Every structure is written in C-alpha cells, then in structure tokens.
Structure 1
C-alpha cells in the first residue's frame, strides 16, 4: 500500500521546521484518475467532507429546501448569528425545536461568536444545520426522530446507499462522527468521485450560491469558493478536504497527521495543476510569532509533480 508523501513544509524565519505528509487524488469528469499521490485507495473517514453526499441523500428522500437552507444542510458552520438564526428557522418550519437536535452542545467555532456565547448549545455546534435537515427529512417521511442517528434508521440507510453510489465503491466501515451521526469509510478516490458527481446537482448549486453558509467568516471553504467561480469545496476533520470544479474535475486531500492548515496550500497547488491560477493569496497559511507573521505553511516545490 502506498504511504502518504511529503507535500507541505512549515517555514519559520527562513528555516524549515517541519513537514506535513499527505495524500491527494484528482479525477476527471467521468471519475477517472488524473493524479494520484500517496494513499488514495485505502479506506479513510472523510468526516464532514461527506456532508454534500448526506444532503444529496436527504433530497432524494423528499426534503425540499430553499437554496440557502440546503447549503446549511451541507455545512460545518461557524455558529455565527445568521447561521444559528437559519438553523432555528429550519427547525421551526418542521415543528421542531433545539431540544430535538442530537448533536452535542458546543460553543461556536467563530472567535467573535464564541466570545459572546455564555453556554454550549446544540444549535451553535457546527453540524447543527445537517442535523436539522436530517430531522426535517424524518418528519416529512413519517420516520421517528429520536433514533434518527441509528445506522439502521431508514434515513441513515438511505444516506449510506447514496454514499456508495456517489463514491462508486462499497463502504469499508461505519463509525460515529464527532456530531454523533454515522460515519462512512471510503477511499480518497471515492471521495473525489462524490464531489465529481455532486457538483452539478442542487446541492452543488446551493453551495456555490451560499459559500458563507457552508462555512463562515475567515474559513477555508469560504475563501476558496469565493475565489474560484463555480467551485464547491468542503473541509473535514483530521485534515480532509475535497473540491470540484464546475466541469466535473474533482480532488480530495488527506493530511496524514490530521492538521488543517496544510489543506488550502495543497488545494491551491492542485488547482494550479488544473489550470486555475491567480490564487497566490491563498497558497500559504501564516505562521505567527508574537502575534505577527514570521513564516508560512506552504506547498513543497515540485511536491505535486
């Protein structure tokens, strides 16, 4: 089995102080391989990068949402005011309340919103948009809501079937995500195929139209979708990142040590390989010392071939 390869270097005050290893794959509009680096066929958990597939499954189960709410269903939102307001309105529309959510209570991800929060709440947890949409899907189908996170629940069975179809491969395992929902293992290549097949769907259109709702202020997804017209992207925990261009070319990234900061430099490098330029402002993540930039996290020259 191929191992992760060095992709990103951490440079502080002109000296390299570390490397991030990872794997990356790019597929063409038919899902065939264009580039493969590292471990791209071994099972992995895509974490929140699978949310667009989960939202697609909910639509197939009859969920009908405005574009903004559909983007929220595929989000890992920052818990900012408009995120929370929209989740609350979505719950109310289906006669649900915050108490019906089964994601764990948490503070907002956004620093400003976090400072203004007095207690951890389920609705400010970054997955609450997905959970609200899951509950709404259950309501319209007459399914039970209390156990909707059980892998044997009709909703989760439908989501698993959709992931298999979009990835073009069987599930390698089922776990539990940080939000409590079932988590499905596929390969990095399978994740790229998911995005290749979602980009032209209503979920892809909603993400393109509302990138801020997918993520929030000062977030990697928000930056990348704003910078590249037609692109959709979604981060996942443990260093996962996936994106697709409107023509169906798609990529998936996994940072081996689970770090999040190498994701965007790798994505920018892959996009450059695909002919998408002008993203130099996103190509490096700053390294701070004393509150000011003293270095950067950047792609190793030649790492992508």
Structure 2
C-alpha cells in the first residue's frame, strides 16, 4: 500500500517536495474514525512510547508526580532546568549519572549545547525516562544493573502495560536510540493508547496526563513543538517521536497518531494543527505551527501545505 501525500512543500508557487505518510484518528472507545494510509501495520513510535512507558512504571511502583513524572515522559532539550532536576532525582534514589544506560550526548537546546563542555548521559534527551526506569527498579526491589535489557522485570512490566494500552500485541522489540527497548505496534494502537491516557479520570494514566498537561516545558523545552501544542490547546497530551512520528489526544479521548514515510518531522506540526481543527479544538494559539513558512532571500516565499481533513 502506497501512503498518500500528507504535505507539500511549496516554494514560489511550485511544489518542491512532498511527504507521504499515514494518519489515524480514534474515538474515545478506540475505534478508527479517520484513516489516511496504512494505519494497521506495525511502526516504531520511538519517543511517542514514553507516556505509555511511564504508565507502566507507575504501575510497577514508581512514585514520581507532577514535574518529575513529566520528565519521565520527556524528550527534554537539556536546558539547565531539565538537567538540574534529573540530577536531583538520581541523587534522591541513591543513584549516579553513570548508572544511566542512555549514551552521553549534547543538549538539543542550542545555547545549552554551546555551554556544554562535553557530552554527558544526563544531557541526553531521554535521561528523564532512564532516571524514572532506574527509580522504578529501586522502588520495586529489582536489580539496577541491566535495567534496559528486554528480559529485565522492569521492561517486561512495561511491555505488558504497552500491549494493554494499545489493545494489540507488540509486533517487534528493537533498541531505541537511548538504548531502552523499543516496541513496535500500529498507529491505530498508538492513538488508542493516547486516547486512553488522555481520557482517564483516575489511576496511573490520569496521573501521566495531568503531569504532561501541567508541565509542557519539561516534556520538551523552549521552542519545541510538543511544548507549543500542549501550551496552546487546553487539556492536550502530546508526544513526538523520531522518524516523523507524532501522537496526541484530547481529554474527551479523541486521539491522533501519524508517521511520515521519510522520517522527516517538518510536516508533523501543520498536520497536527489540522487534525486538532478536524476534532473541533481551538487552534487559534497555534498559528505559527499550523502554517510554517518556506523562506527565500530572508523572506517568506510560501509554506508547507497539508490537506484539509474531512
């Protein structure tokens, strides 16, 4: 199945590039309300998995709340506020930075990148998730060593939770860029899981949704799309993933998941705004995300166009 064109990059009235991909909208009960392209074959959701993983960690004994739980769901920019809190959480659990299995990296935030003397594990955008994983092991009495291995009790508990939230078995387990297990399932399953998290009224899913809504900057950072989406739409829970993945859901349980075939993310933000408009959300605060410009000679010469969803 060839996925449809979901975005056109237009320069001076000429279509310069296109992005093909798939997008699905699910209702509160998890049924498909709109499908563009192949939304049933397994994909790697990449960091869009993080809210699902956080629910699994809470069920396994993690005691993070509020800001700390938002960091557990984050692909943070490595700004000083992110890094300071991750280090504090490690210390509170009796852990060290070297206990993190994520690789050393530089911050995503450019000014912070310039200030970094060298790559560090705590600067890596997934260090909040890994700190939460380590803390879960401490709370549950599981070994800290090898916590990122797929057969570790922590990862087995997370995998079981992910399968429950998505409503489908995990099709494949790989290794994410941060070294943690990466679960493959369909875009429909991803949207269904986000709808269940955002629509929950109590329990771990509701706790994750509440933390992300209350602390969107901690989930991403300055100038990042997830932060802008959650800051601009009341009650939204949003999490992007590498290779052109984006998922989000409203408090009523309606959810959207998308993936670009070429792995590019530039089409995701305008598509997200259009999908939110389709769902009846107020997107008046997302004008810049909804119509990204194409520049030439230091001025706007056109834009990235996405189809109107019906």
Residue equivalent to 2:221: 216
| Counterpart selection for 2:233 from 205, 228, 232 | 228
Q: 1:290 to 1:168 in 2, by over 3 A?
A: same
Matches within 5 A, 1:169-180: 169-180=168-179
Structure 1 outlier segments of 4+, above 3 Å = 288-295
Tell me the CA shift for residue 143 of structure 1: 1.0
Asked if residue 272 in structure 1 is aligned to residue 271 in structure 2, the reply is: no
CA–CA distance in structure 2, aligned partners of residues 298 and 130 of structure 1: 34
Asked if residue 295 in structure 1 is aligned to residue 295 in structure 2, the reply is: no
Asked whether the 8 Å contact 1:79–1:125 carries over to 2, the reply is yes
Asked if residue 285 in structure 1 is aligned to residue 297 in structure 2, the reply is: no
Tell me the CA shift for residue 118 of structure 1: 1.4
Matches within 5 A, 1:110-259: 110-199=109-198, 200=200, 201-259=206-264
Q: Return the TM-score normalized by structure 2.
A: 0.95
Q: 1:281 to 1:152 in 2, by over 3 A?
A: same
Tell me the CA shift for residue 296 of structure 1: 2.3
CA–CA distance in structure 2, aligned partners of residues 287 and 48 of structure 1: 27
Partner deviation per Cα, 1:91-118 (whole Å, 9 max, x = no partner): 0110111111110011000111111111
Partner deviation per Cα, 1:194-250 (whole Å, 9 max, x = no partner): 101111310011000000000000001011101100001000000000000011100
Unmatched 5+ residue regions in structure 2? 201-205
CA RMSD of aligned residues (A): 1.2
CA–CA distance in structure 1, aligned partners of residues 65 and 193 of structure 2: 22
SS of aligned partner of 2:211: helix
Q: Return the TM-score normalized by structure 1.
A: 0.96
CA–CA distance in structure 1, aligned partners of residues 91 and 300 of structure 2: 44
